[in-house]
Amino acid sequence: LEAGADDYLVKPFSARELSARVRTQLEMARVRRDVAALAAREVVLEEAVRARDDFLSVASHELKTPLAAFRLQLERLERGLDASARAELRERFLDTRRQVQRLVTIVETLLDVSQLTAGPPLLTVEDEDFTALVTDVVARQQEELTRAGCVLTLRSEGPVPVRLDRERLAQVVRSLLSNAMKYAPGKPVEVLVEQDGPHARLTVVDHGLGVRPEDRERIWQRFERAVSVRNFGGLGLGLWIARQVVEAHGGSVGVSETPGGGATFTVTLPLAGPRA
Q: Please state the φ and ψ torsions of residue 211, each to the nearest 5 degrees.
A: -130, 125
So what's the pLDDT on residue 120? 82
So what's the pLDDT on residue 22? 82
So what's the pLDDT on residue 59? 72
Residue 247: CA atoms inside 13 Å, Cβ hemisphere, count? 12
The parts of the chain modelled with pLDDT lower than 70 are 1-13, 49, 52, 57, 225-235, 276
So what's the pLDDT on residue 230? 55
Q: Please state the φ and ψ torsions of residue 26, each to the nearest 5 degrees.
A: -65, -40
Domains and CATH numbers, the chain: 1-119 (1.10.287), 126-270 (3.30.565.10)
Q: What share of the chain is helix, strand, coil (3-state, %, to 5)?
A: 55, 15, 30
So what's the pLDDT on residue 169? 96
H or E element: which one contains 71? helix 15-79
So what's the pLDDT on residue 136? 96
So what's the pLDDT on residue 233? 59
- Residue 88: count of CB within 10 angstroms of its CB: 11
> pTM here?
0.68
CA distance 183 to 232: 8
CA distance 250 to 246: 7
So what's the pLDDT on residue 148? 93
By residue count, the chain amounts to 276
So what's the pLDDT on residue 64? 76
So what's the pLDDT on residue 43? 85
pLDDT digits (tens, 9 = 90+) for 180-203: 999 999 999 999 999 999 999 999
So what's the pLDDT on residue 153? 96
CA distance 182 to 220: 17
